[in-house]
Amino acid sequence: MQPATKTASRGFTLIEVLVAFMIFGLIGVISSQLLSQTLSAQDDLSDRGTRLNDIHRAMQIIQRDIMQLVDRPIRDQYGDTQRSLLIGTDGIIEFSRGGWRNPLQLPRAEVQRVGYLIQDNNLLRGYWPVLDRAQDTEPAYQTLLTEIEQLEFFALDASGNEYTFWPVPGANPSDPNTALAGILMRIDVPPFGVIERVWEVPSV
């Protein structure tokens, strides 16, 4: 009976080791790229979520002002009477709104004059401390949104016509068909594009 022969163990060759290292390296690179893309996508989603919250907050503030529009003309810094609602061809809107809270019971009216405009690609809300202004009366501004491409306000009459300015020269204020019925806002907000909102308002 012949004794059993011992099979010699075979190790990895240098080429096999190098191929294994190359495969592990490729897997590491692919995994790193996938992780980087995932983190980038999460950052984008977070930025978009923050942007949406900012837009929603700005829309709420604008809606609150417009829904409290009141028929209260003012006198400007030159002493001229200005209508309750003014919309200029440059997209600027200015109007009187009620419901100005006064928790400190200061000696002032509960009607406030506010306005919206775009400046340096920022959406600004301006408000005046008084309704009838002196020559040195200046508005205070707060930034509602940044990186705005375009801002437009339009007046809508009862017939659905849009006007880039208000009041309309020569219009009959007693004609119900041309009376103010709503305000349309069109704003271009990257990265979401153009957003439109329409609010019904009382006749002023």
**Which residue is it, tokens 């007693």?**
174
DSSP state of 51: H
Per-residue confidence at 148, pLDDT binned at 50, 70, 90? very high
- Domain regions of the chain by residue span: 63-200
174-194 residues labelled b (16+ CB within 10 A) or e (exposed): eeeebbbbbbebbbebeeeee
Q: What is the CA radius of gyration of the chain?
A: 32
Q: Residue 122 pLDDT more than 90?
A: yes
What is 63-200's CATH number, 2.50.20.10, 3.10.610.10, 3.40.50.2300, 3.90.1150.180? 3.10.610.10
Residue 70 and residue 97 in contact, taking contact as beta carbons nearer than 8 Å: yes
66-77 pLDDT, tens digit per residue, is 999 999 999 999
Mean pLDDT, rounded, of the chain: 85
Residue 59 and residue 186 in contact, taking contact as beta carbons nearer than 8 Å: no
**Which residue is it, tokens 């439109």?**
196
pLDDT for the residue 2:
52
* CA atoms of 149 and 130, how far apart (whole Å): 31
Residue 158 and residue 181 in contact, taking contact as beta carbons nearer than 8 Å: yes
* CA atoms of 110 and 125, how far apart (whole Å): 18
The total number of residues shown for the chain amounts to 204
